[in-house]
Amino acid sequence: MWYVVTNGRGWDEDEATQRGGLRFGGGLVVLSCAGSIPQKCLSGKLEAVYVDASRKMSENGVVPRAKVLTIDTMNPTVKNVEYAVRGPIVARAVELERELSEGMKKPFAEVIKANIGDAHAMGQQPITFFRQVLALCSYPELLNDSTFPEDAKSRAYRILQSCGGNSMGSYSASQGIDSVRQDVAHYIERRDGGVPCDPDNIYLTTGASDGIMTMLKLLVCGEGATRTGVMISIPQYPLYSAALAELGAVQINYYLNEEKCWSLDISELQRALDEARHYCSPRALCIINPGNPTGQVQSRQCIEDVIRFAAKERLFLMADEVYQDNVYAEGCQFHSFKKVLFEMGPEYSNTVELASFHSTSKCYMGECGFRGGYMEVMNMDDEVKAQLTKLLSVRLCPPVPGQALMDLVVNPPQPGEPSYDNFIKERTATLSALAEKAKLTEQVLNTVQGISCNPVQGAMYSFPHITIPEKAIKEAMEQGQQPDMFYCMKMLEETGICLVPGSGFGQKEGTYHFRMTILPPIDKLQILLIKVKEFHQKFTQQYS
Amino acid sequence: MWYVVTNGRGWDEDEATQRGGLRFGGGLVVLSCAGSIPQKCLSGKLEAVYVDASRKMSENGVVPRAKVLTIDTMNPTVKNVEYAVRGPIVARAVELERELSEGMKKPFAEVIKANIGDAHAMGQQPITFFRQVLALCSYPELLNDSTFPEDAKSRAYRILQSCGGNSMGSYSASQGIDSVRQDVAHYIERRDGGVPCDPDNIYLTTGASDGIMTMLKLLVCGEGATRTGVMISIPQYPLYSAALAELGAVQINYYLNEEKCWSLDISELQRALDEARHYCSPRALCIINPGNPTGQVQSRQCIEDVIRFAAKERLFLMADEVYQDNVYAEGCQFHSFKKVLFEMGPEYSNTVELASFHSTSKCYMGECGFRGGYMEVMNMDDEVKAQLTKLLSVRLCPPVPGQALMDLVVNPPQPGEPSYDNFIKERTATLSALAEKAKLTEQVLNTVQGISCNPVQGAMYSFPHITIPEKAIKEAMEQGQQPDMFYCMKMLEETGICLVPGSGFGQKEGTYHFRMTILPPIDKLQILLIKVKEFHQKFTQQYS
């Protein structure tokens, strides 16, 4: 229900009154128009304001000036954006934390945020070497401090030499610092067994999200049935759906096979693509490997099949490989799309367009706050590359401390350097602990009747299937909630554990899941898993 | 001229041949279709590739697979983006630097980049206290180092306490760290003489550019004649035109009055708005104060008039105030839009929607590389604020080191604290030097016949008017270049000085300018100004 208020310009008072408006003093006419605003009022030709009926008018008839920017007049694509990882459940978790700190009684002593891959927040320690170099770069006076190891100093010196005025406070080139891009290229060559990498194809980014968003932005065009469609896995990391919503692109869902440990079937890609061709113009295929939220690690064969599919169907490939060091399961190994593409020979390596993404936020580093990342593009059209560089120049450059950190990730201490042993010790400790926690999570969850969890082969999450009783589903629906949101909210209120419902990532109709990170310290994770188990049993009992 | 290549699916070879295609071996038919691609080929139903005629086919008849993403198939709004501050002239400057470093002979020994407000790159030193705190936050082991002052340690401790797991490597809240937003609110209250500020209205950003882009994104909607229009000053900072192009919004130009020291006339706002109402729906008015590229500082009266205009015309106000400490001219003073809005009484302060922007990149800090900033919103609709927070959550959080730096800017050393004296000394030195260089720039440029420069009242740039001889204009046009681009390119090639042509910011038809930063160290600036003078005289002579 809306009121339109006009001061008499455009519509005169009489016309507005005739249309059911009420004279309200001060030359104002208040017009009720139940739901829709006359186009005339929105066109800007009429000096008219409209207010939500729920807002009180003051007694003297002066109506508060209505907002220019309201939920009804804002960018509609922004309204379509959803991002479950920081959605309502997290807002409630923050509220609960505040209530606890204010002394309110709860059935738990602390809120455990297992909703987001935020390693340091869960107690993971940063790599000493990385932080030493960042301190040296921040305050170069420390280069004279004898307590810092020489390799940290030489890295810092090299980074500062690449900065304007030798300061991290200077803008870098929009594509990123030259020497960092060179180091990234060398890293990729080493990682991929010598496959060549051109630093000109490297773009440093503000976390991987920024790179993914930018690539999608380049790809989107057309209207109606020629509008760009982008294939994403279901379940997906909701950055993808959010970005596509914001860009007004068409999201094409392909479903991962939960029965086969979240594997990717080419026949399912084909089905999704063939259907989508009827209503949009599919142009890109996004893959997350290792998987988020599903934790699977793709086989080399599967990657080859995907590349072949992309070539055949003329799709631009986007490979989200931010968890490339997070592989735990025996027999699993990370294969980069770039490497497989090159091994498939020039028919593919000279033609298939690929952008791959990496980040400082995951793996053993977990440095989310620095917002570092890079993207490598292959076989990208030169004119498009020029457009990309131009687009990036508008936001000037990615944060330089994040670029410095990315440099350290791709160029860590080498054997023989003073920091090498400690670096390896710290990295191994973090990755071993993650592997142990991945195993533990799968094991404990699979002891619960009504929960079934695929092996966490990689990444940082489990995404178990949960059975929700019919009665609970009905109650959730009555409250206008997704059943797994209802389940997760209840768990949060009763146990303090903050998970993300599967509906935030997408799942097969009628199935329910949650995403839980494996990041809490092992003793805390054990308690958390037992609490999840107890909650699930209680919940099932309550609603059966 | 295009060729369409089909392997026989969709169209069979005969059909393609009938349509003028040439059989080309390997089952391929090459079809010339001079300019336009048949819709059938673009629809994706046909496995067809098309190549630009300029690209050679190999002799065995195998045609390179055409790209999915080309200049013709990419997002058209991205193509419309322009950003002169890092445009072709800067690319050439970088090339010249490389040529110099490779020993190539040039008529100059170094390239001086006076194109961008990048203070540290021009030799400005960072504030010691800020960098000490950042080093402490990066490597908290240093909290035990007795050489760091206590106030730096306590600031670092407080920042780390506000980070998850006490690490800058954790994600912060998407809106920014709570304690930093509180400090920003206190800073604004102090700056504005006690006008209240709610931390809930503060959003930390990745530099000011990110905040401006985000606000514009919220504001854009509608199609055709109802498409959102945004008023920007001409000359403008090209972030605005670039953002509007990318969003597909309508840019509404209002011209600053060069004759009156780049002042803003309300009658010109009214003219621009009235004209724009015929073809779009104007919703926002952007102001840059102190001005970029024009260096003027708005009077309190002018700001009041602008607010009154925005209220009357129902425009959302965006105040870009990143140069708020950069005011040099006698009699000039920075007035924030927020403060003036509040002084105008509740009729305005409770209704006019305003977003104002600040940054760590300018003022006396010049910390561009950290990408820190904040935005304050006032009178923003609550539902829109919720949408804004949701939108920000997708990119997770602004870089935490930039947030920490923003905190230090708004909460610097206080009287009595150990770092206070040195902080004041450093800040004063930087601002005094800038004031001196502002004066020097104006004075020297005004000694040149054919150059006329308004006082640099604030910010970091001069934007002098230059007279370009008819003959040079003609030659530029023949080369398809803007005359001032032609002028600046010539200056770069002959002197190594990199400026930005006025056409990159917009200017009155038939007038020409360049933007030059006042950032080089004073001795270098003196040389630079003399070189500009000599170049202009020579150029004028050459073309007269």
Collect all residues of chain B within an 8 Å Cβ-Cβ radius of residue A391: 78, 81, 246
Contact B370 A399 (CB under 8 A): yes
Cβ–Cβ contact B284 with A under 8 A: yes
Q: Which of A414, A407, A376, A413 is nearest to A180 (CA)?
A: A407
Band the pLDDT of B412: cuts 50, 70, 90.
very high
Collect all residues of chain A within an 8 Å Cβ-Cβ radius of residue B136: 135
Q: Which of A300, A240, A228 is nearest to A264 (CA)?
A: A300
**Alpha carbon distance B275, A390 (integer Å):** 31
Per residue in B113-160, pLDDT tens? 899 889 999 999 999 999 999 999 999 999 999 999 999 999 999 999
Residue B530's CB: how many other CB atoms inside 10 A? Answer: 12
Q: What are phi and psi of A333, to 5 degrees?
A: -150, 145
Picking from A43, A52, A75, A204 by the largest number of B CB atoms within 10 A of its own CB, the best residue to mutate is: A75
Contact A78 B47 (CB under 8 A): no
Structure tokens at A463: 């995404």
Collect all residues of chain B within an 8 Å Cβ-Cβ radius of residue A174: 86
DSSP A442-509: HHHHTTSTTEE-----BTTEE--EE---HHHHHHHHHTT--HHHHHHHHHHHHH-EE-EEGGGT---T
Q: What is the DSSP letter of B68?
A: S
Residue A170 · residue B121 · CB < 8 Å: yes
Collect all residues of chain A within an 8 Å Cβ-Cβ radius of residue B163: 120, 369
Contact B217 A394 (CB under 8 A): no
Structure tokens at A330: 């025996």
Residue B325 · residue B347 · CB < 8 Å: no
Give the pLDDT score at B16: 52
Amino acid letter for position A438: A
Closest CB to B217 among A75, A134, A379: A75
Residue B248 · residue B77 · CB < 8 Å: yes
Give the pLDDT score at A79: 84
**Alpha carbon distance B488, B78 (integer Å):** 26
Long-range contacts of A7-14 (CB under 8 A, 24+ apart): A7/A47, A7/A48, A9/A46, A9/A47, A9/A48, A10/A40, A10/A41, A10/A45, A10/A46, A10/A47, A10/A48, A11/A40, A11/A46, A11/A48
Collect all residues of chain B within an 8 Å Cβ-Cβ radius of residue A365: 169
The number of residues in chain A equals 544
DSSP B7-33: -SSSS-HHHHHHTT-EE-STT-EEEE-
Give the pLDDT score at A19: 55
Closest CB to A366 among B47, B139, B169: B169
Collect all residues of chain A within an 8 Å Cβ-Cβ radius of residue B367: 169
Residue B1 · residue B34 · CB < 8 Å: yes
**Alpha carbon distance B244, B251 (integer Å):** 7
Contact A44 B282 (CB under 8 A): yes
Residues in A 35-94 with any Cβ partner in B closer than 8 A? 42-45, 47, 49, 64-65, 67-71, 73-76, 78-79, 81-83, 85-87, 94
Q: What is the DSSP letter of A305?
A: H
Give the pLDDT score at B19: 54
Structure tokens at B199: 């931390």
Collect all residues of chain B within an 8 Å Cβ-Cβ radius of residue A393: 83, 85-87
Closest CB to A64 among B79, B81, B351: B351
Band the pLDDT of B34: cuts 50, 70, 90.
very low
Closest CB to B394 among A67, A81, A118: A81
**Which residue matches tokens 């935020």?**
A118
User: Tens-of-pLDDT digits for all 544 residues of chain A?
Assistant: 234 454 433 445 555 555 555 554 444 455 544 334 444 444 333 334 444 333 334 333 444 567 888 888 888 888 888 877 777 898 899 899 999 999 999 999 999 989 988 999 999 999 999 999 999 999 999 999 999 999 999 999 999 999 999 999 999 999 999 999 999 999 999 999 999 999 999 999 999 999 999 999 999 998 888 899 999 999 999 999 999 999 999 999 999 999 999 999 999 999 999 999 999 999 999 999 999 999 999 999 999 999 999 999 999 999 999 999 999 999 999 999 999 999 999 999 999 999 999 999 999 999 999 999 999 999 999 999 998 998 898 888 999 999 999 999 999 999 999 999 999 999 999 999 999 999 999 999 999 999 999 999 999 999 999 999 999 999 999 999 999 999 999 999 999 999 999 999 999 999 999 999 999 999 999 999 999 999 999 999 999 8
**Alpha carbon distance A31, B451 (integer Å):** 58
3-state secondary structure string, A262-291? CECCHHHHHHHHHHHCCCCEEEEEEEECCC
Find the closest chain A residue to B393 by CA distance: A86
Q: How far is A287 from chain B (nearest CA, A)?
A: 17
From the number of C-beta atoms within 10 Å of its C-beta (0-12, 13-18, 19+), residue B259 rates as: exposed
Contact A395 B350 (CB under 8 A): no
Provide the number of CB pairs (under 8 Å) joining chain A to chain B.
312
Residue A330's CB: how many other CB atoms inside 10 A? Answer: 7
Give the pLDDT score at B522: 94
**Alpha carbon distance A143, A239 (integer Å):** 40
From the number of C-beta atoms within 10 Å of its C-beta (0-12, 13-18, 19+), residue A108 rates as: middle
List the single range of A38-52, B144-158, B369-383, B472-486 with lowest mean pLDDT.
Answer: A38-52
Residue A345's CB: how many other CB atoms inside 10 A? Answer: 9
Structure tokens at A477: 């629906």
Give the pLDDT score at A21: 55
- Alpha-carbon Rg for chain A in angstroms: 27
- Alpha-carbon Rg for chain B in angstroms: 27
**Alpha carbon distance B242, B216 (integer Å):** 11
Contact B121 A170 (CB under 8 A): yes
Q: How far is B178 from chain A (nearest CA, A)?
A: 12
Asked if pLDDT for residue B11 goes beyond 80, the answer is no
Cβ–Cβ contact B170 with A under 8 A: yes
Q: How far is CA B233 from CA A329, A459, B32, B212, B320, in A?
A: 59, 48, 47, 15, 12
Amino acid letter for position B104: M
**Alpha carbon distance B482, B496 (integer Å):** 20
Global pTM value: 0.87
Closest CB to B76 among A124, A221, A366: A221
Q: Which of B69, B60, B66 is nearest to B46 (CA)?
A: B66
Taken in order of first residue, the domains within chain A and their CATH numbers are 2-74 (no CATH), 84-123+431-542 (3.90.1150.10), 172-410 (3.40.640.10)
**In terms of DSSP bridges, do strands B372-378 and B354-359 run parallel, antiparallel, or are they unpaired?**
antiparallel
**Alpha carbon distance A277, A261 (integer Å):** 28
DSSP B463-529: --EE---HHHHHHHHHTT--HHHHHHHHHHHHH-EE-EEGGGT---TT-EEEEEES-S-HHHHHHHH
Please, what is the end-to-end C-alpha distance for chain B in angstroms?
42
Query: What angle is formed at CA B456 by the lines to CA B450 and CA B462, rounded to 5 degrees?
Result: 50
CA dihedral sign, ordered A523, A525, A529, A531? positive
Structure tokens at A108: 């738990």
**Alpha carbon distance B366, A403 (integer Å):** 18
Q: How far is B3 from chain A (nearest CA, A)?
A: 17
Structure tokens at A486: 């209802």
Contact A371 B399 (CB under 8 A): yes
Cβ–Cβ contact B1 with A under 8 A: no
Structure tokens at A317: 């490939």
Give the pLDDT score at A483: 95
Residue B116 · residue B85 · CB < 8 Å: yes
Asked if pLDDT for residue B484 goes beyond 60, the answer is yes
Asked if pLDDT for residue B86 goes beyond 80, the answer is no
Amino acid letter for position B336: S
Collect all residues of chain A within an 8 Å Cβ-Cβ radius of residue B67: 353, 379-381, 384
Amino acid letter for position A294: T
Picking from A70, A227, A393 by the largest number of B CB atoms within 10 A of its own CB, the best residue to mutate is: A393
Collect all residues of chain B within an 8 Å Cβ-Cβ radius of residue A165: 120-124
Contact A206 B399 (CB under 8 A): yes
Picking from A387, A396, A403, A500 by the largest number of B CB atoms within 10 A of its own CB, the best residue to mutate is: A396
Contact A78 B368 (CB under 8 A): no
Amino acid letter for position B490: K
Band the pLDDT of B42: cuts 50, 70, 90.
very low
Collect all residues of chain A within an 8 Å Cβ-Cβ radius of residue B153: none
**Which residue matches tokens 């997002």?**
B75
Asked if pLDDT for residue B26 goes beyond 50, the answer is no
Find the closest chain A residue to B366 by CA distance: A169
From the number of C-beta atoms within 10 Å of its C-beta (0-12, 13-18, 19+), residue A103 rates as: exposed
Find the closest chain B residue to A168 by CA distance: B369
Residue B216 · residue B230 · CB < 8 Å: yes
Structure tokens at A277: 């061709």
3-state secondary structure string, A159-170? HHHCCHHHCCCC
Cβ–Cβ contact A380 with B under 8 A: yes
